[in-house]
Structure formats: structure tokens, C-alpha cells
Chains A and B, each alone.
Chain A
């Protein structure tokens, strides 16, 4: 191959243009996400779902309406139709939960995404659908012997055009001024008397419109199928974060950067695509903590400590009740079969995982989107020790989580330099990097075929023994983390969460506090992972994957992020329900998603958070309306 002359110059030009076309598709979707996040602070997990519905609706319309007008009319009509769905979702669902703790909206949009994935299969069937090509853009243009699809040229033009329109909209209209103001300081905008409700709804509609348009425009070059949403959602998040949250130009530059690096990267490293965007994001965030075009967030004015009842250790009665619950749980092997015990072990392990993330999120105020990395590292740690070093199970269980601890120490050091969503996204980037190493390093990790045969030794092999082991460790971990919460360290950590500036002023080393919390949390997750490896007898890159990280987030949010141990309840409810539904119905995602949406509406503080609030209300002598009245005051602060 070395003797062959290199490709002609025209090739590099065409490769560049091809990269631009990919960038344009990515930008359309990313810009919508960026606008929505900038104004409403909603981490819109359902953005990919809207993109997918846009493609499905456009497919149906373009199959019915032929001709040039029919095709382009269908694309635009599909985007409008989906924007309308977006408006309904915003008004019916999201409006109710703007005052919920940060990230809680993620739970709602996650539930929606689950539902949509099953719904599209019910409506459009399981097969991949291939739509028409765009009239007038079917062929290719010859460029010095290289072919450029004319549709690519169309997209290359469309990207900057949309960017221009958005720029005009934001710079030259009153609505745009309000949106920009809200992006900078939405409390101030509210204080000035702007009707936030309609501002949020309109912003959400524009964002969803762009997502659906992006999906509809994929019809001539892609297949429409039920997994399109997951394929794009993480990538657009990364683009938005690289560009800087809320910055449209940033999203555009980031989309071009990522697409061009991919287009040329694969010429040298053909396997780079799988990890490229995350590598770019990690580098950008380490160098520029607020993305390329983002600005540092103003220190939060809202004090989370005011919105919750001050935490306190359990009373003696509550301790007895918790102990009684543990004892009851420990008697499960007396009457339950092997399957129930194995499910019980799995739930106990996920309790460990959830409380580890809960500790970081609730006490440290740091939401990790990549917590599965430390869970998975713990599992791989066990697998390496057991399969390669042949160490006994006890030793593996003790040493395995150290891999999670080391990972957390390294990544946590970089991550805690950031805050908010940037922190979350950097943890995601690190998790994906770890995942891709496990995935690609076949000779050591076995790649996606995993490491098999990590079964427990005889003493722990029976389901009841393993259940007791998992339950015991889960109880121990939960108690240990509670002790940490009410230790001086815990108080200090809560201070950094509630006000980084004030705690720094009184001499708390914020970054070191957060780093320590990150390591504690990562190690704990590693303990869960170590047990998980023995429960399943095998370790796969899945154990480090995004979906597991999302599961952990959902469990914490479901339990209630403003509670001390909400993660325990969240894990039990979510995992038990998930296992049961998957076993009982083919539409488990639809039912589970619907359930999550329902919980979000009924328990906007999470299950435990809501129970605590109810208990509080019953205790207080003031009429029940008082706490509701307090809400607008809190949020206006």
C-alpha cells in the first residue's frame, strides 16, 4: 500500500465537505437542545425521541405525498407536528416540575423516551423503514473525479442558513432578547415581570421543532428505526457541551469540529469513531471548563438548603424500624425460592450502587452521568483478580473495588474542577473512555464478549448465602455513608454544596472535599460492581455503559435527591419494577416509562422526599397550604 500514490487533493476537499454535511445534521439537533437547556435548564433526554418521531412522521407523510412540493412540505409539516407534541409535553408534564430539584426533569424526559421507543414499534412496526430520496437531490456532483451527493451540498448550505435564522431570531427580535436574558439569569427575567410560562413553552417548541426537522431530513440518507434516538442523543449532548451550553454558534463550531475530526480521523485510525466525541469533550472541558463558547455560570443564588428540611440522623424509633426492615429482609431465604433470592441479591447490589451516587449527588451536590464507570471498574477488578491472578473470592471482593477507587481518584481530580452539567458531562466522557477501553482491548478484557466464569466460591454459591452477603454489604454501606453524612466531613461537604463561595471563605478546601467525596462514592460503587460480577458470573463492557449510569441517576432521582437515603428506596422500587415488568410484558419500556412519568408528576420530590414532606406537613400545625405557598418565594430567591 505504501507504494501507491496518496489520494488526490480533490479527495481531501470532498472528505472535508462530507464532514460538513454530517456536521449540519448534527447541528440542527444540537442547536435545539442547546436552546432548551440554556433557558429552561432542562436536561432534555427526550430530545432524541423527538428527533426519531420527526423521522417517522416525515416517513409516513413522504410516502403519501409525492412530488417536490409533497416531499418538502412533508418534511416541514412533520417538524411542525412534532413541535406541537413538544408543546403539549411541556404544558402537561414539564410545567409541573420546573420547581422540582435540579435534574429531576431528566427523569421525566427519560420516562418519555422509554415510552416513545415502544410506541414507535407499535405504530410503525418493527422493520427498518427506508424513505424516499429528496426530489432534485438524488444524485451526485462530480468534483475532479470525486462524487459529492447533492443532498450533502444541500445540508452544507442548510446548516449555516439555520444558524443565520437562529442568530437573527435571537439578536433582532424581542423574543430573542428575552430568551438570551433568560439564558443568563432567568430569575432576574422573572422578577422583571416576563411571563416565564410562555417563554419556556415557546423555547421548548422551537427546540423540538429543530430536533424533528433534523430527524425528518435524515430520511433520504438513513433508515428510520426505533433505536435512532439513542444513537443521537448522547452525541448531541456532547456537541452542545463542547460548544458551551446555550451557545448556538458554539454548537455549530463543535458539530463541525467533531464531524471533521471523525472524517479525517478514520483515515488514520479506522476504529476512532467509537470514542472520538468523548475524547474531544474531555480535552475541551479540561482546557476550557465551560466549553468553547460558554461562559462561567454565575454562582447559584438559590440555596438548596432552604428548600429541604434540615437533615438529621434517624431517631431511635426510626433506627429500630430500619433494623426491623433489615431483619425482615434477611428472613427472605426462609420462604422465597432461588429466583426471588437472586433478584433480591441484584436489588441489594443496586442499592449499593444507588446510595454511592446518591452520596455524591445529595450530599456533594455533584451529579455524575458516568457513575457506571466505577461500578464496572469494580466488576472488572474482580474479574482480573479472579481469572488472571486466581485469587480467592474474599480477597477479590476486598481488592476489586480498588480499581473503582483508582479510577475515581484519577477522573475525579479532573471532574471536580468543573461544576453543574459540565461536571456531569466530563464524568460521562470519562465513563465512555473507560467503556471503550474495555470494549476495544480484546486481548485483556475480552472485548464485548466479556470475561466469563467469575462464579462465587462454594461458601457463597447458594442463592441464600449470596443474598445474605449482598444484603449485609448493602446495609453496611448504607450505614457507613449515613455516618459520613453526619460526620464533620459530611457537614463540610454539604457546605460546599450549598454555597461554594461561603464555604471557601470560611476556609473549607472545596475541591479537595469534593474530590474526597468523589473517591468515596466511586469506591462504594466499585463494591457494588464487585458483587455484581460474582452474581452474574461474568463481566461485560455493558457494566460500564451509559444505560447503567442512567439507571443509577433514575434510581437516585426517583428516591429523592434532597433526602439522606432516598437512593435505597429508589433502587428497590426501580430495579424490582424493572425486573418484574421485563419478565411479564413485551411492552416493559412503555409501562416503565409511563410509571416514571406518573411518579414525576405525583412525587415531584421523589418518593422518599414526598413521604418526608407529607410527614412534615402532618406534624406542623400550620394549614397544609402553607408549604405550597412557600414555593414561589423559594424559587424567586
Chain B
């Protein structure tokens, strides 16, 4: 399948760019790694997103006249395999840079590889703050808003709630732990009057939802923070609905507004949760309209958040390569630092200080419409507004 994409992309570029046979020598390769076999629900739309980007870039003449080729590899959800793939891309395929990854530990593994081998790495999805802060390095950039940024966006809305007694439910691994930690810290800073009355840590992917829901209800919180997603979220919501956990309680939830996680809930979608997500149906900006039209025309399907991430990852990579005019990693870093570009969600900038992009997220409330879950009252939160001060960031990040 991947080989086919490669050829389709190449053929398309030949046609559209009107290049001669010398095209093969005139190409720039980007290496891409993701957990395709482990997380197909996210990575299928993600792949469609970046394939669309490749097509658009090559149709517009490629990168400084050179055709863009993306070589994509599966990591199977294992950091060690991701490194094998990264090594193949760099050593055998001769890619100009690495992109992709979903899971935080894989993002960190590839970032460490990039630092060691002096390769430019644009992390697409991993959310852990460590990628750009405590374990940040000069070769690694990140596109998606980090855990901290999403927590800060949610805290802004959550702190306005009257609720004083809070409980948390989060998957028991780094992502869940750091999401809860940041949320608690920011929330307690804004609202010293609130109490944390219970916390539940079901294993990721293995929630035994009944007892967890009961345990949270027993603590009688006024509001709940949820960090579970995917199949765990489905089980939690179903048990919570049946047992009346969410009745009369505010719920604040990470990622739940993303179509990947909201759509499976169908008519069981709980209403009124404050969530981060991607309401593609209600975004009315020219940039997004153009993206949506192109995406639907090509795939006859609606985009998920993964589609945006995949699309913008490759668009960003291309912009960095175009500005650098070279594949030298040092020049790529210099080009990327402070680079601004447009995205379907508005203009973004890769910050010089910590290599984090200012891509934001939508915050809104869940609602039921025609038996389907949607996000309403949503507004776009710019990433740049939810990052700590430069002085704090400098303290968090090791010196290059």
C-alpha cells in the first residue's frame, strides 16, 4: 500500500509539475513514522491528511522545484521499532528529515535518536510536555498543542465553574498522569478554594468501568476531569450514563471533542461536557473551507483531527525545507525557528524558544444532534495564548 502511494505520488507530481525524466534526481524525501497498525482509528485519517498535503505541494511545483516524496513506516506502537524505522529512513532512504509519531514514548525515542544522529525531527502528535521541555533538544520540533497547552485551555473554562469538589479519571500512564498534574496545578492556582476529592487511574485500554464509576460517585464530586479516550472513554461514558454519574455534575474532558473519539459514542454522547476537539462542521474560515473542500473531494469522507495533524505536519515540513533551501539539519533548524505559516486552523509559528508550534485547539461543549455527538459553542484557542512565560520555559528546557 505504501509503495503504491509512493508511486501514485510520484506519477502525480510528474504530470502536474510537468517535469522531465530527471525528476527522480530532483526530489526531496521526508521520512514519516507512525503507529499505523496499533492505532488505525487515528492514523488512517492522519495518512489521508498528509497524502493530500503531498499532492497539493507537488501540484504547486514541489519544494523549490523539487518533487516531495514521503516515505512512511509503521512503528507498531513500540519505541524500539520506531528507532529501527527511523534508522532505515535516515541510513537507507536518505531522508532530509523525520516526521510523525503519535505516542509520547515513541515521540521521545525518535527525538532522542534525532538528537544523537543530528537529524531534524518534526513530531506530529505526541502530547507529552517532555518533548519540547524537560527532554527537549535542538533537533526536535512539535506541531500539536502540548498537554500543558490543552490543560491551560480547559482550565480557563473550568475555573469559571462554581464546582469546588473535583475528582479525576485518567489512564495510568505518562499522558494521563501529566494531564492531571498540570490541570490540578493550574486549576488550584486560579481557584485555591477547590478540593480534589478522588482520583481514579484505570490501566490504559483496560478500564473496568463499572467499579471506577461507582468509586468516583462515592466521593460525591461536583465536577469531574476525564482524560480517558478511545475504547476506555466509550466504556466510561456508557457506565456513567447508566449509573447517572454525570447527572448534575460538570465534566471537563481532554480530547473528547475530536471526531475520532466523539463519533463512536453516537447517541450515548453525554451533553454539556467541556472538551477540547475539532468541530470540522462549524469552522467557517477561508483556510479551513479550502482544506475541507479538498479533503472531501479527494476522499469522499469528512476529516478527523488526525487529518489536520497529518496535513499540517507535511505542510510545515515543506515550508521549513523551502525556506532553508537545503537539507542540512542546521539550516533546517535555523529556518524552522520562528517560521510562521498558514494552517487550516489559522496562522501558526514554530517558536524559537522551545520549538513548539502555536497551533491551537477548539474548546467547546458536547451536545447531541440527530443522534450524533457534536461540539457546540466552540471557539478556537490560539496556542500562543496558553504557554508559560519565556522565563519559565527557559527554566524547563535544558540548554542545547
Please tell me if A448 contacts chain B, counting CB pairs below 8 Å. Answer: yes
The chain A residue sitting closest to B80, CB to CB, is A536
The contact string, 1 if C-beta is below 8 Å from chain B, for chain A 507-545, is 000000000000000000000000010001110101100
Query: Which A residues lie within 8 Å of B238 (CB)?
Result: 130, 220-222
With A449-B105, A536-B80, A536-B83: A223-B234 Cβ-Cβ less than 8 Å: yes
Query: Which A residues lie within 8 Å of B177 (CB)?
Result: 442, 447
Please tell me if A337 contacts chain B, counting CB pairs below 8 Å. Answer: yes
With A274-B172, A343-B84: A222-B231 Cβ-Cβ less than 8 Å: yes
Q: Assess the A449–B128 pair: CB atoms within 8 A.
A: yes
Cβ-neighbour of A126 out of B44, B83, B266 (below 8 A): B44
Q: Assess the B210–A21 pair: CB atoms within 8 A.
A: yes
Query: Which B residues lie within 8 Å of A532 (CB)?
Result: 80
Query: Which B residues lie within 8 Å of A222 (CB)?
Result: 231, 234-235, 238
Cβ-neighbour of B79 out of A220, A267, A542 (below 8 A): A542
Query: Which A residues lie within 8 Å of B208 (CB)?
Result: 22, 259, 262-263, 273
Please tell me if A184 contacts chain B, counting CB pairs below 8 Å. Answer: no
The contact string, 1 if C-beta is below 8 Å from chain A, for chain B 342-355, is 00000000000000
Q: Assess the B230–A128 pair: CB atoms within 8 A.
A: yes
Q: How far is the CA of A140 from the CA of B241 in the complex (A)?
A: 9
Chain B nearest CB, measured from A92 CB (Å): 26
Chain B nearest CB, measured from A490 CB (Å): 32
Cβ-neighbour of A227 out of B76, B112, B205, B234 (below 8 A): B205
With A338-B87, A452-B135: A128-B41 Cβ-Cβ less than 8 Å: yes
Chain A nearest CB, measured from B1 CB (Å): 5
Q: How far is the CA of A228 from the CA of B231 in the complex (A)?
A: 9
Q: Assess the B37–A589 pair: CB atoms within 8 A.
A: yes
Binds B, one of A200-208, A319-327, A580-588: A580-588
Cβ-neighbour of B205 out of A117, A231, A339, A587 (below 8 A): A231
The contact string, 1 if C-beta is below 8 Å from chain A, for chain B 90-131, is 011000000000001100110011011000000000001010
Q: Assess the A221–B209 pair: CB atoms within 8 A.
A: yes
Q: Assess the B214–A583 pair: CB atoms within 8 A.
A: no
Q: Assess the B173–A586 pair: CB atoms within 8 A.
A: no
Please tell me if A19 contacts chain B, counting CB pairs below 8 Å. Answer: yes
Q: How far is the CA of A221 from the CA of B209 in the complex (A)?
A: 9
Query: Which A residues lie within 8 Å of B273 (CB)?
Result: none
Q: Assess the B197–A1 pair: CB atoms within 8 A.
A: yes
Please tell me if A503 contacts chain B, counting CB pairs below 8 Å. Answer: no
The chain A residue sitting closest to B83, CB to CB, is A536
Query: Which B residues lie within 8 Å of A440 (CB)?
Result: 172
Q: Assess the A140–B244 pair: CB atoms within 8 A.
A: yes
Q: Assess the B211–A262 pair: CB atoms within 8 A.
A: yes
Q: Assess the B112–A223 pair: CB atoms within 8 A.
A: no
Q: Assess the A270–B2 pair: CB atoms within 8 A.
A: no
Count of B interface residues, CB-CB < 8 Å = 75
Please tell me if B174 contacts chain A, counting CB pairs below 8 Å. Answer: yes
Q: How far is the CA of A257 from the CA of B41 in the complex (A)?
A: 35
Cβ-neighbour of B88 out of A220, A259, A540, A583 (below 8 A): A583
Chain A nearest CB, measured from B208 CB (Å): 5
Among A4, A149, A152, A536, the one with the most B-chain Cβ atoms within 10 Å of its Cβ is: A536
The contact string, 1 if C-beta is below 8 Å from chain B, for chain A 529-566, is 00010001110101100010000000000000000000
Q: How far is the CA of A455 from the CA of B195 in the complex (A)?
A: 44
With A226-B40, A450-B109: A338-B91 Cβ-Cβ less than 8 Å: yes
- If over half of A's interface residues share one DSSP class (helix, strand or loop), that class is named, otherwise mixed; here it is helix
The chain B residue sitting closest to A579, CB to CB, is B84
The chain A residue sitting closest to B47, CB to CB, is A586
With A19-B211, A221-B235, A538-B109: A126-B84 Cβ-Cβ less than 8 Å: no
The chain A residue sitting closest to B79, CB to CB, is A540
Q: Assess the A15–B214 pair: CB atoms within 8 A.
A: yes
The contact string, 1 if C-beta is below 8 Å from chain A, for chain B 211-222, is 110110111100
Q: Assess the B206–A231 pair: CB atoms within 8 A.
A: yes
Q: Assess the A11–B214 pair: CB atoms within 8 A.
A: yes
Cβ-neighbour of A140 out of B83, B130, B218, B243 (below 8 A): B243
Chain B nearest CB, measured from A526 CB (Å): 17
Chain A nearest CB, measured from B176 CB (Å): 10
Q: Assess the A18–B214 pair: CB atoms within 8 A.
A: yes
The chain B residue sitting closest to A452, CB to CB, is B112
List, sorted by A's number, 13 A–B pairs whose CB atoms are closer than 8 Å: A19-B211, A22-B210, A127-B260, A149-B242, A151-B242, A222-B235, A227-B38, A266-B212, A270-B198, A537-B83, A538-B79, A538-B112, A586-B74
User: Can you add 19 more A-B contacts, CB < 8 Å, to A127-B41, A450-B105, A463-B91?
Assistant: A21-B210, A130-B265, A139-B242, A149-B243, A221-B209, A223-B231, A263-B210, A266-B202, A266-B211, A270-B198, A273-B206, A339-B92, A452-B108, A452-B135, A537-B83, A540-B80, A583-B73, A586-B1, A587-B1
Which 6 A-B pairs have CB atoms at the shortest separation, nearest pair first? A126-B40, A223-B234, A339-B91, A338-B91, A263-B211, A18-B210
Which B residues lie at the A interface, using CB under 8 A?
1-3, 36-38, 40-41, 43-44, 73-74, 76, 78-81, 83-85, 87-88, 91-92, 104-105, 108-109, 112-113, 115-116, 128, 130, 135, 172-174, 177, 195, 197-203, 205-206, 208-212, 214-215, 217-220, 230-231, 234-235, 238-239, 242-244, 260, 263-266, 268
Which A residues lie at the B interface, using CB under 8 A?
1, 4, 7, 11, 14-15, 18-19, 21-22, 117-118, 121, 126-130, 138-140, 146-149, 151-152, 220-223, 225-228, 231, 235, 259, 262-263, 266-267, 270-271, 273-274, 337-340, 342-343, 346, 439-440, 442, 447-450, 452-453, 455, 463, 532, 536-538, 540, 542-543, 547, 579, 582-589
